[in-house]
Structure 1
Amino acid sequence: MLTMKKLEIIIRPENLETLKQILSAHGVSGMTLLSAMGAGNQHGEKDVTQLQGGNFHINLLPKIYIITYVKDISINDLLVDIHESLTTGDVGDGKVVVSALEDAMRIRTGERGEKAL
C-alpha cells in the first residue's frame, strides 16, 4: 500500500473554481467542501454588525474549507500548482495542511487504502 495524504485546504471563495481545476488536473476526483469564516494574519475585517440583541464585532472573513485525499506521489506538484495559481501575495490567501493518512475505506464496497480514494 502506497502512502496517502489528507489535504485540508482553506482558500478565498473566489478561488474555488481554479482549485477544482487544479485538483482535477492532478487526478483528484473527490472532495468535501464547507463554507467557513476565519481570520489569520490579516485579522479579518473589523466591522460592527447589528443583530437582534445588540451590536457584534465581526472580524472574520468568508473562506472555503476543502478536505481531500491524495496519493503521496502526487503531492509536491499539486502543492506547487496550488501556490502558483492561487497566490496574490497578500495575507489571507489561505493554507494547505498535509497530514499522513494511515488508511481509508469506501463504505459502499469495503475497499481499503488507495483503492478507496
Structure 2
Amino acid sequence: MNGKKIGRRLITVKGSRFPSFPFSGDGLQIDPMASSSAYLGRLGCLVYGLALGTTDESLRRAFSKFGEIVSLTIVINPRTGENTGAVVFDNETSAREAIEEMNGKKIGRHPITVKGSRFPDFPSVSWLSLQQ
C-alpha cells in the first residue's frame, strides 16, 4: 500500500511498535498516565533468550503452572535471529508470579529473562461486522 493513492491522497505506510514505558523497581512496566487510570491492557510477560527450537507448546508448558494463558506467541527477530516470547495471562496475579519465578530460569538449556509488559486488548472484529 505504500505509495498508493486513496482518493486523491498519496499514502505512506510505515512499521510501528508499541510504546515502551519506564520500568518500576519490581521490573514491571509502569503507565505514565496511571494517575488518570488509563487502561493499557493485560499484564503479561516478555520472555527473552529462548532457544531457536522453542515451540509455542514448550513455552505454554513452562508458564501454564501460573494460571490460565489467554494468548501466547513466539517471534523471531529477523535482524538478530533471537526468539522472544509473549505470554498473556487472564489475571495480573498469575503474570506477577510468572515474572518473579521464571526470570533467570532455564527453558531447555537456555537461561531466559522475563519482564512484565502490558498488552492491549484489541477488539475482535468478524468479517460480518465489517460488511454492515
State TM-score, norm by structure 2: 0.43
Q: Which has the higher contact order (CA 8 A, sep 6+)?
A: 1
Is the helix fraction higher in 1 or 2? 1
Greater fraction of residues in strand: 1
Structure with higher Rg: it is 2
